[in-house]
């Protein structure tokens, strides 16, 4: 049976069950596993010999936390990550993840209304990890994220998106988006879905991985997710490519 594409409501329900008494995961644990999967997907597709410089773009929510974890693992893998946070997260777990990256001497661009720092970083990068908006995003895109998405989309660099491309609707994808004047739709080359793919990425035509090897078999069966098997110690599994 084919893997199940899930709605925002079901994705939230599964997350809540993973973190309640029956699942017993902490948010930090789930972010660690999700971020590791994202870093592994980058390494799988983009060899560090050619794509060594990774610009990790992090939003202020849980998506951004996954990005910070991924940046740390990419540094451990031998890549040279740089972190860009248009608006850093304020929660304690986010600050801890940021500190972990600082302790590894991973460069972090200063948040600024100016796009000069981001433009320079894009010119000095080989690939982008997009961890700005998650499945709870609702448009339009507001400053400072609008300027960031414009530069990222127009950079010409390959993009790896976490869970859902930033700005896409979790239910309908990139159709009918109202992102705001002049804000383009991101077209990533690689997508790393977490838990199970979301409804809005059914038509995604790039390389598509499932990551976050943390869903118990009993939960996958309960929600009829039809998850594929992960090979060996891999944290990701590639899904069949959609024929457009």
The answer to whether 214 is a known ligand-binding residue is no
The answer to whether 134 is a known ligand-binding residue is yes
Domain-by-domain residue ranges, the chain?
Answer: 8-239
| Summary mean pLDDT of the chain | 92
Question: Phi/psi at 207 (nearest 5 deg)?
Answer: -75, 130
- Fold classification of 8-239 is Rossmann fold (3.40.50)
28 neighbors 65 (Cβ within 8 angstroms): no
The answer to whether 65 is a known ligand-binding residue is yes
The answer to whether 92 is a known ligand-binding residue is no
The answer to whether 28 is a known ligand-binding residue is no
The answer to whether 66 is a known ligand-binding residue is yes
Which class for 113: exposed (0-12), middle (13-18), buried (19 or more C-beta within 10 A)? exposed
The answer to whether 64 is a known ligand-binding residue is yes
The answer to whether 166 is a known ligand-binding residue is yes
- Exposure string for 227-243, b = 16+ CB within 10 A, e = fewer: beeeeeeebbbbbeeee
The answer to whether 140 is a known ligand-binding residue is yes
Question: Residues 49-71: what's their mean pLDDT?
Answer: 97
Which class for 219: exposed (0-12), middle (13-18), buried (19 or more C-beta within 10 A)? middle
The pLDDT of residue 81 is above 90: yes
For the segment 131-184, what is each residue's pLDDT rounded down to a tens digit?
999 877 877 888 888 999 999 999 999 999 999 999 999 998 987 677 777 788
pLDDT at residue 112 in the model? 63
Q: Could you tell me the two tokens for 73?
A: 């693992």
């Amino acid at each position: 049976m084919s893997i199940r594409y899930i709605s925002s409501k079901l994705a939230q329900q599964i997350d809540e069950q993973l973190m309640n008494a029956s699942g017993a995961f902490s948010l930090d644990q789930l972010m660690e596993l999700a971020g590791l999967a994202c870093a592994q997907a980058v390494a799988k597709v983009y060899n560090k010999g050619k794509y060594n410089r990774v610009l990790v773009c992090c939003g202020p929510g849980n998506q951004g936390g996954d990005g910070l974890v991924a940046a740390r693992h990419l540094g451990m893998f031998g890549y040279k990550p740089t972190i860009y946070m248009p608006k850093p997260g304020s929660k304690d777990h986010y600050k801890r993840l940021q500190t972990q990256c600082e302790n590894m001497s991973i460069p972090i661009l200063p948040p600024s209304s100016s796009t000069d720092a981001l433009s320079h970083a894009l010119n000095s990068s080989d690939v982008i990890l997009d961890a700005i908006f998650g499945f709870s995003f609702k448009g339009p895109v507001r400053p400072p994220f609008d300027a960031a998405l414009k530069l990222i989309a127009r950079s010409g660099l390959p993009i790896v998106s976490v869970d859902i491309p930033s700005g896409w609707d979790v239910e309908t994808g990139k159709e009918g988006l109202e992102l705001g004047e002049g804000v383009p739709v991101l077209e990533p080359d690689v997508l790393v879905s977490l838990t199970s793919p979301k409804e809005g990425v059914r038509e995604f035509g790039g390389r598509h991985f499932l990551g976050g090897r943390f869903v118990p078999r009993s939960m996958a069966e309960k929600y009829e997710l039809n998850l594929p098997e992960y090979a060996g110690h891999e944290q990701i599994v590639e899904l069949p490519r959609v024929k457009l």
